Amino acid sequence: MALKITSLKDLAGHGFDTVIDVRSPSEHAEDHIPGAVNLPVLDDEERARVGTIYTRISPFTARKVGAALVARNAARHLEGPLADKPGGWRPLVYCWRGGQRSNSFATILAQVGWRVEVIEGGYRSYRRLVAEAMHERPLPHRLILLDGNTGTAKTELLALAARRGVQVVDLEGLARHRGSLFGAVSAPQPSQKAFEGALAHAFEALDPARPVLVEAESSKIGNLLVPPSLWEAMKRAPRIRIDAPLAERAAYLTRAYSDIVADGERLHRVIVALTPFHGREQVAQWLKMAERGEMRALAADLMARHYDPRYAKWRGRAKATVLAELQADSLSPAALEAVAERLAEAVGRAEAAENLPESGAGRNI
């Protein structure tokens, strides 16, 4: 039996014990239905081999070779990761388009006695839903952007606001990148498709009648593009702005970016990458500060000379509504808790309003 999914909510409440992606490891690595385990019936080399036979010899020969490989791999899965599954286990299986790979594996599982189903249309049906949500339809959620210069602890404040009941989507967390030249983290970024899928599921889980707080970002986070539906909503969204003294921001950055501070070679590479913007002489000064371990002074100078002017220029073009400006005299953990309380209150006032404004003056808090 094939399960037809018509919305991402169908996947969220599918009711099966395990979702199995039988595509090749590279297909699964690029993107997959969240939570799916990869039990390939053809690995990458085998898939390429069957495809070559299909085009160069005959479809019949390809199907015969493919069937033997699928049976062999299915036996390995039955004796390995599926060996302890009980009789009442219910798996949901998919391949690229709900064709031979998923149906062949599902037939074998059904013969064992498990109540197995396949996803009609396979991965392509899921990807179509993601593309509709992130590329084709307007985002139904009302967004509020959390704005502030580099080092104002915006990502940490998002998490603190979420603990206070605010609807939040952490774009940088889903992108696995902190959104600047210094923003790369140890884990590699997901593929563009996987990023869009994560975003679609994150928004699907939220109430569109309530505002959603996201960090103000550019249209690109590391190597990933913010998909069109979300980007259009972000361009129209009002903001809550965080302000903090430069010294506090510099101290916060040295804590938040401790991984880069501890990696001299990586820090050197990133600073050198600023040469086209500031010239060799300025970059040489920053490199000397790094060599001497003057990390707070380096962070402050980078913000004053590089990041703050670019933020100011970008804001000048944005002409966005500012719902509130929150002053943070300190960015210590205790102080951030207090700022998060005021942030949650500001979002609550916006939620109480019938409509979030698209233009107008903000207020200081």
Where in the sequence numbering do the catalytic residues fall?
Answer: 95
Neighbours of 229 (CB within 10 A): 22
Question: Residue 57, exposed/middle/buried by CB under 10 A (0-12, 13-18, 19+)?
Answer: exposed
Strand segments (E) across 115-202: 117-119, 143-148, 167-168
The token duo for 54 is: 């299909």
If phi > 0 it is left, if psi is from -120 to 50 it is alpha, else beta; for residue 275 that is alpha
Spatial distance between the Cα atoms of 346 and 351, rounded to a whole number of angstroms: 9
Q: Which residues contact 6 (CB under 8 A, 6 or more apart)?
A: none
Question: Position 150: which residue type?
Answer: T
Give residue 89's region: left, alpha or beta (phi > 0; psi -120 to 50): beta
Cβ 354 vs Cβ 270: under 8 Å: no
Residue 217: closest CA among 334, 311, 349, 297: 311
Cα separation of 144 and 147, whole Å?
9
Identify the three-state secondary structure at position 253: helix
Of the candidates 106, 79, 76, the residue with the CA atom closest to the CA atom of residue 3: 106
Instruction: Tell me whether residue 279 is exposed, middle or buried, using C-beta atoms within 10 angstroms of its C-beta: 0 to 12, 13 to 18, 19 or more.
Output: exposed
Residue 242's DSSP bridge partners are: 148, 326
The backbone torsions φ and ψ at residue 214, rounded to the nearest 5 degrees and listed phi first, read: -130, 155
